[in-house]
């Protein structure tokens, strides 16, 4: 088998793994709300029962929470823009969140971050020139928040520094996401909700993440840990 063919097979398996890695049989609670027609009405309306966990305070004062009964209600402010600062042990990523193209996804990510869901977690998977996958508190590839929500598939192309949701098939988004670290990741089909972009000034940090990624598949060669995720609103 040639090296090129072996690499192609590995990448095909890795792409399939993005679909399977975040499946969780315990995630029985799903978001059954209707998606809003436009980004102005933003995200998804939910019933009062589904809103039991509520929106975390915007000031970051919520206690850490990693288990939820349902997808969050609408927590984004109409007309506001959002960004995330993802502090890792390999450097800090400033991320522009794309509520204009993925309002439901950004809503979930923002609320989880405000509940400190991602703080102190390990990115369980990193493939060189492809992606770094994070967002699972169990670091097994099987963890999630206890709810799922619908896809918001992109019309824009992925690029290095794009952040998108991992999933276990259509409409099974939870908390796991991946950062595209190379050309092979940028060539993924548009099957994953694109919701953020690392700022150009921090693409060198994306390169640092890729430098410790696995040349095949699996955990990174050296740990990639999320220290803290902070949300800013303007």
Q: Above 90 in pLDDT, residue 14?
A: no
Minimum mean pLDDT range among 20-24, 35-39, 84-88, 227-231:
35-39
- How far CA 34 is from CA of 37, 43, 47, 103, 162, in Å, comes to 9, 9, 10, 13, 26
Q: Evaluate the CA torsion angle 70, 74, 75, 80 in order and state its sign.
A: positive
How confident is the model over 139-162, as a mean pLDDT? 98
Question: Rounded to whole angstroms, how far apart are CA atoms 200 and 107?
Answer: 23
pLDDT band at 135 (very low <50, low <70, confident <90, very high): very high
pLDDT per position as a tens digit, 21-49: 444 333 333 332 333 333 333 343 333 33
% of the chain surpassing 90 pLDDT: 77
Q: What is the 3-state secondary structure (H, E, C) of the chain?
A: CCHHHHHHHHHHHHHHHHHHCCCCCCCCEECCCCECCCCCCCCECCCCCHHHHCCCCCCCCCCCCCCCCCCCCCCCCCCCCEEEEEEECCEEEEEEECCCCCHHHHHHHHHHHHCCCCCCEECCEEECCCEEEECCCCCCCCCCCCEEECCCCCCCCCCCCEEEECCCCCCCECCCEEEECCHHHHCCCCCCCEEEEECHHHHHHHHHHHHCCECCCCCCCCCCEEEEEEEEEC
Q: What is the domain-level CATH number for residue 169?
A: 2.40.100.10
Question: Rounded to whole angstroms, how far apart are CA atoms 221 and 219?
Answer: 6
Question: Rounded to whole angstroms, how far apart are CA atoms 79 and 82?
Answer: 10
Q: Above 70 in pLDDT, residue 116?
A: yes
% of the chain surpassing 70 pLDDT: 78
Q: Above 80 in pLDDT, residue 124?
A: yes
pLDDT per position as a tens digit, 167-176: 999 999 999 9
Residue range of the domain that includes 178: 3-233
pLDDT band at 53 (very low <50, low <70, confident <90, very high): confident
pLDDT per position as a tens digit, 173-211: 999 999 999 999 999 999 999 999 999 999 999 999 999
pLDDT band at 103 (very low <50, low <70, confident <90, very high): very high
* Number of separate domains in the chain: 1
Whole-prediction pTM: 0.82
Q: Evaluate the CA torsion angle 118, 94, 186, 98 in order and state its sign.
A: positive
């Amino acid at each position: 088998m040639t090296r090129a063919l072996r690499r192609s097979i590995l990448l095909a398996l890795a792409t399939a793994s993005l679909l399977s890695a975040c499946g969780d049989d315990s995630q029985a609670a799903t978001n059954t709300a209707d998606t809003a027609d436009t980004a102005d009405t933003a995200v998804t309306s939910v019933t009062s029962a589904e809103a039991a966990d509520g929106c975390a305070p915007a000031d970051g004062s919520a206690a850490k929470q990693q288990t939820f009964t349902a997808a969050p209600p609408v927590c984004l402010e109409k007309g506001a823009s959002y960004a995330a600062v993802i502090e890792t042990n390999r450097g800090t990523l400033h991320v522009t969140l794309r509520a204009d193209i993925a309002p439901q996804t950004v809503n979930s990510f923002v609320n989880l971050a405000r509940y400190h869901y991602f703080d102190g977690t390990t990115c369980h998977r990193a493939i060189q020139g492809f992606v770094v996958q994070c967002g699972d508190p169990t670091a097994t590839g099987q963890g999630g928040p206890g709810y799922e929500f619908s896809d918001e598939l992109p019309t824009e192309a992925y690029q290095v520094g794009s952040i998108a949701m991992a999933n276990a098939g259509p409409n099974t988004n939870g908390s796991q996401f991946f950062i595209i670290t190379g050309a092979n990741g940028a060539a993924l089909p548009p099957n994953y909700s694109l919701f953020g972009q690392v700022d150009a000034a921090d693409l060198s940090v994306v390169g640092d993440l890729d430098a410790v990624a696995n040349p095949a598949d699996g955990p990174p060669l050296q740990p990639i840990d999320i220290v803290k995720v902070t949300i800013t609103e303007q």
